[in-house]
Amino acid sequence: MWCDTVQSDSSAPECSVSPSFLYIMGLTDSPLCGRCRAEKDTSVNVLCECEALSTLRHAYLGAFVLSPEDALRLSLGQSGTY
Ligand SMILES: [Zn+2]
């Protein structure tokens, strides 16, 4: 993911640039995920594998860890079923 949108308390959403983008731009030494620091900050890591997001993944997608194939079968707009 290139950019995560975060909502601060009372202001408009802010854009947080991903470590992968900063790494490609030569602005940081590591492309690792800013959440788990275990994997490169890719869409697969965020959607399927990132341990730091496993609770949210389980709440919204119904599984703590997904395979990329499971992610492809996700039905957007329906939480907990894939
Ligand atoms: Zn991660």
The rounded distance, in Å, linking the Cα atoms of 22 and 4 is 13
What is the whole-number distance in angstroms between the Cα of residue 76 and the centre of ligand 1? 22
Which residues have CB less than 5 Å away from ligand 1 (the ion)? Answer: 33, 35-36, 45, 50
Taking the centre of ligand 1 as the mean of its atom positions, its distance from the CA of residue 55, in whole angstroms, is 13
Q: What is the DSSP string of 27-70?
A: S-S--B-TTTSSSB--HHIIIII-GGGHHHHHHHHS-SS--HHH
Domain boundary assignment for the chain: 3-72
**Ligand 1 midpoint to CA 17 (Å):** 14
What's the pLDDT tens digit per position in 8-65? 455 555 566 777 777 888 888 888 888 898 888 888 888 999 999 999 999 998 999 9
pTM of the complete model beyond 0.85: no
